[in-house]
Amino acid sequence: MTKLNSLAISDNGFIFKPSTGESFTTNDMGLFIINLLKEGKSSDTIISAITDEFEVDAITAERDLYDYLDFLRAEKMID
């Protein structure tokens, strides 16, 4: 099981990490990104999906995605 798939993620953005007992909250965009990552989507696909779903341009979507990936990496939720 990948690290991301081991997380318990609620629809309201509450994330529980069973390996450490830590919990996090995320906003709609974070939740959207996590769900696409779990589906194995590529960065380009996710950026495009963000621009479709949220009212942001591709540059902002790219920055948001990479900021979020940095956060997930720092919290050891992805490799």
Site for another protein contains 21 (CB under 8 A): yes
CB of 76 to another protein, least distance (A): 8
Site for another protein contains 25 (CB under 8 A): no
CA atoms of 57 and 54, how far apart (whole Å): 9
CB of 77 to another protein, least distance (A): 14
| Count of residues touching another protein (by CB under 8 A) | 7
CA atoms of 36 and 26, how far apart (whole Å): 14
- Show the DSSP H helices in 1-79 as ranges: 28-38, 43-53, 58-74
Binding residues for another protein (CB under 8 A): 6, 8, 16, 18-21
